Structure 1
Amino acid sequence: MIRKATAVWHGTGRDGSGHLSSESGVLAETPYSFRTRFENEKGTNPEELIAAAHAGCFTMALAFGLQVAGFKPTELSTQAAVTLEPEGKGFRIGKSALTLRGRVPNLDDTEFARIASEAEKNCPVSKVLNATITLDAKLVWSTSEG
């Protein structure tokens, strides 16, 4: 399986701008620039897209892991916070912090944390990131709720 996206950029790094498009069409000439990356101008940036990819990949891996273990989640919600930090003359993504909240009937906290940890290790996006990855996983209701 190969997935494709395209970046087009015009101008210099600070004053230029570009757009991102994905093969699926979900991103269709979505704007990005210095201002969308380092300030708060409307548009996207690579770190936001990596955060979305990490959250989505991990959450799907967890759903599969729970299914294999015999559990049926009613909701899994993951936020990924990607940190861009200085390194030498440039920057690097040094961390992706996953915050997971799940509703999974008949599952205890210990088993939930174990399955979530396995999902984090086996998620393809986790594997590709050369960054510290943290995971804070919590069930949001007791195991007796169903």
Structure 2
Amino acid sequence: MTTRSGSARYEGFGKEGQGHVSTQSGVLSDSPYSFTTRFGEEPGTNPEELIAAAHASCFTMALSFALAQAGYSAGTLETTAKVTVVQADGGFKITRSDLALTATIDGIEPGQFESIAADAKANCPVSKVLNAEITLTHTLNG
């Protein structure tokens, strides 16, 4: 079992409040977040972009391991995740995460690639925790 942690502190309330978020690894250390970093253009982070980064990295690593297990050893994978947030039921909800993958894999057949990628999308831990529609589009080079 592996446990990772993150923390957040918010001072003030509502739109005027300001927060900071940190991760156990120190990659984020008191990174600012607020209403305007979340719904505006102020520099800083927000929960949705952190979820998008987590989903892109989780899926890409799951796919990498699945490809290695299938016998492939050379190539590159690049994934972008776009998380959509909508206002619903008096609050906000993440309704979808759209994964866009560009892959270069020596010697793989398109059908096998699609099957392995679909399995990685369905079974990476972040996909499993999201209560949202998850899509995957891909470009296979090579």
Distance 1:115 1:137 in 2: 12
Query: How much has 1:12 moved relative to structure 2?
Result: 1.1
Identity among equivalent positions (%) equals 51
Q: Does 1:86 align with 2:87?
A: yes
* Residue 133 of structure 2: aligned partner: 132
* Residue 46 of structure 2: aligned partner: 45
Q: Does 1:28 align with 2:23?
A: no
| Alignment gaps of 5+ in structure 1 | 142-146
Distance 1:73 1:46 in 2: 34
Distance 2:111 2:15 in 1: 47
Question: TM-score, structure 2 length as denominator?
Answer: 0.97
5 Å matches for 1:45-124? 45-124=46-125
Instruction: Give the letter for the 1:86 counterpart.
Output: Q
Distance 1:140 1:86 in 2: 38
Query: How much has 1:18 moved relative to structure 2?
Result: 0.3
Distance 1:17 1:110 in 2: 48
Distance 2:80 2:112 in 1: 21
Distance 1:135 1:95 in 2: 11
Question: TM-score, structure 1 length as denominator?
Answer: 0.94
Distance 1:129 1:106 in 2: 33
**How many positions carry a matched residue from both structures?**
141
Query: How much has 1:13 moved relative to structure 2?
Result: 1.8
Runs of 4 or more off by more than 2 Å in structure 1?
none
Q: 1:102 to 1:73 in 2, by over 3 A?
A: farther
Distance 2:48 2:31 in 1: 14
State the Cα RMSD in Å: 0.7
* Residue 16 of structure 1: aligned partner: 17
Distance 2:134 2:52 in 1: 11
